[in-house]
Each structure stands twice: as structure tokens, then as C-alpha cells.
Amino acid sequence: MFRHLLKLMWNKRRANSMIFLEILLAFIVLFGVYAFIFYNLNRYSSPLGFNYANSMGVRMDLNDDLDSLGVLAAQERIRQDLLAMPNIEAVTWVGPVNPFGGSTWQTGSMVRGQHILTQMMFVDEHFANTAEVDMLEGRWFDESDLKGKYLPMVVNREFKERYYPNVTTLVDSIIDLDGEHKIVGVTSDFKYKSNFAENFPLSFFAQPERLAQDDPFEMLIVRFTPGTLAEIEEPVYNLLVGHTKNTDVVIWDMAKDRIKSNRNIVLPMIILIVISGFLLINIALGLFGVLFTQINRRRAEIGLRKAMGATNGQVTGQFVGEMLIVTGMALVLGAFFAVQVPFLELLPIDGKYFYYGIVGAILTILFIVVLCSLLPSRQAAALQPAEVLHEE
């Protein structure tokens, strides 16, 4: 039976060539789409590591004439005045890299024979409390750490697992990274760019690192009582304008900022899904067209087979089988090329997502082909031998 179907498909190779190419193209596109979706869904499933809800970001310009001590005093006055306002729960100063802001700072160094590359965030001692950071080991740094021999540093779990997988704890370790630092704590996963960001090694540094470069913190994260953003936004703005004597104060809702930061992945994902949908519709229409045409041309063959004892199921199985053979050949060729991507490591992505993409594309196309083949095939099986042979 299989050899007979192969011979039929070979004799109709021109008619089936367009279906073959459509399925091959759809497989390649679906393979890429599924791999992209699985890869990003895996990223999305890992936690951010901090709480952005009921928080607002604030950017302002501090007086350039202030020295380091003046900056620290001004920042503390602003923080205390904000905390004295109703519905303000916590306040922290942050540096140029803030959650969902789109900025990235990195630093690297050779430490004990291995190259360490880490992203950087500059924050104050109140950041962990304000952002509700999930700590795995140790603690967040405080004012006493800023007066010690080594400036404090907090790293995330990815930093520890990538560079020190066999070390029980990094707490109290001294590391020479842009100067000697003492690690006082380890956070869980921490992704400040977006939900779809990669879990990359990250280090938190204190404000003295930036003051030494005449670059003080000029951004705030303010956590407020749920549902009070509209109520406190104007008073916060007026307070900061009064302190800085500058109306260049920008306030934004961090929850909305998170949505914006995710759009860079969500929008391409939606576009790719729509394109894939059109391709699948095109395949479905092509299958309907080919099968209905073949059935009309092969009415005599169908009638003769049924007159010789072929059952409805056998007739249906023949047409579905023919389409599955064409589909199978296209999928085998497509899978051969697709598997080269993880095998040759053409992209810096874990190969399992490409294999997921291959399996997902194969199952989707087989489902569409079988579904679209059943209706015309059943119509062919319903033909009566006497009626068809009489027409001939």
C-alpha cells in the first residue's frame, strides 16, 4: 500500500510540488517562531527578583555646586521629607541604571584566573527594602559597610552559579572588581530590564562608587500605598521642585514602565504568530484545493475501487495518506536543515529550544494536514460506485 501511494505521488509530483514547498516554508517559519516563543517564555517564567508594583520612578537634577557631603545631606533631606508624606511607604536613591529604564552598565576583570563579566547597578542602602529584593544569602549593605576597609557589594544568584559554582557561600568574600569589594549578600534572580531579560550576572554597588566620579544619584524609587499614585504624584512633584529649585522633575509609574519594556519581545512575538497563522491558512486552502481537484479528476478511480470492495475508511485513508507522504517529505527536509542550527551552535541560545521548535512545528503541520485532508477525503469516500461509473 505504501509503495502504491509513493507511485501515485510520484506520478502527480507536479501537482504536489506547490504543497511540498508551502509545507517546507511553513515548517521553517514555525520552527523559528516556536523556538523564539519557547526561549522567551522560559525567560518570562523566571522571577524578576524585586517588586515593581505600587512604585514610581523619579528623575531630577541636583544642584551641581554641591560637594559629596552636600549631595548626601540633600538626598537624605529629600528622602526624609518624602517618607513624612502620607501614603509613602519607602524611598531609595538609585544610580543611572534603574529598573525598566533600558540602560546597561557592565564591568569585567580577571579574578583568580577567570574572566568575570557582570552587569552593574548603583543603589543605596535602602534599595532592598524599597524594592523588596529577595535575598538568598547574607544581607543588604548598610551605612556601617560604607565606612569599612572594603566597599560593600551584593551579587545575584547567576553571578555565584556562573563564576563560583563550587563555593558554599560568597558572603564576606573579597573580590577585586573595579577595586576591592566585600560581598555581603546574594540575591535571587534579578532582571531589571524586563520580564524577558536574560538572567545575567549582576552586581550592586553603593553610591560612593559614583560620588568618586562626581556622578551622584539623581533618581528615586518611591513605594506608595496601593491605589494612591494619582493622589501623591502632584505633592511629590511640588516637594522635589522645592528642594531642587528646578522644575525638571520626571515621575513615572514603574508598572507601566515594565509593560513598555516587555513590548520589545511581545510585539515581535505577536507579529510572528500572525505570520504563522496566515501561512497555516495558506496551507489549509492549498490542501483543500489540491484534494478537491484530485477527487474530481479521480472519480472513476474512486468508483472502481469501491466497486471492487474498498471501504469508506480505505478510500479516506488513501487520500489522507497521500497528503501525509508529501507532508512527511517536506518535514524531513525541513528538519534536516533546522537541526543544523543547534548542532552547529549558530546562535548563542540553548539548543533545546530549537528542538522544541522542531517538534512543535512538526506536530502543528501534521495536525493541520490531517484536519484539512479529512473533509475532502470523506466526500470522496461517500461517492457511490454506480453513480460514478454511470457518469463515466
According to DSSP, the residues that pair with 347 across neighbouring strands are: none
Q: How many CA atoms, within 13 angstroms, populate the side-chain half-sphere of residue 257?
A: 20
How would you classify residue 18: left for phi > 0, otherwise alpha for psi between -120 and 50, otherwise beta? alpha
Amino acid at 12: K
The predicted model scores a pTM of 0.81
| Residue written as grid cell 552547529 | 344
Strand partners for 186: 137, 155
Query: Is 101 in contact with 256 (CB distance < 8 Å)?
Result: no
200 touches 119 (CB < 8 A):
yes
**Residue 122 and residue 205 in contact, taking contact as beta carbons nearer than 8 Å:** yes
Write out the chain's pLDDT in tens, 392 residues: 455 555 555 555 566 677 888 889 889 999 999 999 999 999 999 899 999 999 999 999 988 788 888 888 999 999 999 999 999 999 999 988 889 988 889 988 887 778 899 999 999 999 999 999 999 999 999 988 888 888 899 999 999 999 998 888 899 899 988 888 999 999 999 999 999 998 999 999 988 766 656 778 889 999 999 999 999 999 999 999 999 888 889 999 999 999 999 999 999 999 999 998 888 888 888 777 777 676 666 555 555 555 555 565 666 667 777 788 888 888 999 999 999 999 888 888 888 999 999 999 999 999 988 887 777 666 655 555 555 444 45
Return the CA Rg of the chain: 32
Burial 203-242 (b: 16+ CB within 10 A, else e): bbbbbebbbeeeebbbbbbbbbeeeebeebbeebbebbee
CA 54 to CA 128: how far, in whole Å?
A: 15
Q: Decide if 171 contacts 201 (C-beta within 8 A).
A: no
What is the 3-class SS of the chain, one letter each residue? Answer: CHHHHHHHHHHCHHHHHHHHHHHHHHHHHHHHHHHHHHHHHHHHHCCCCCCCCCEEEEECCCCCCCCHHHHHHHHHHHHHHHHCCCCEEEEEEECCCCCCCCCCCEEEEEECCEEEEEEEEEECCCHHHHHCCCEEEECCCCHHHHCCCCEEEEEEHHHHHHHCCCCCCCCCCEEECCCEEEEEEEECCCCCCCCCCCCCCEEEECCHHHHCCCCCCCEEEEEECCCCHHHHHHHHHHHHHHHHCCCCCEEEEHHHHHHHHHHHHHHHHHHHHHHHHHHHHHHHHHHHHHHHHHHHHCHHHHHHHHHCCCCHHHHHHHHHHHHHHHHHHHHHHHHHHHCHHHHCCCCCCCHHHHHHHHHHHHHHHHHHHHHHHHHHHHHHHCCCHHHHHHHC
pLDDT score at 48: 92
**pLDDT score at 349:** 86
Q: Which triple of cell numbers denotes residue 173?
A: 568574600
Confidence (pLDDT) at 297: 61
Grid coordinates standing for 248? 525638571
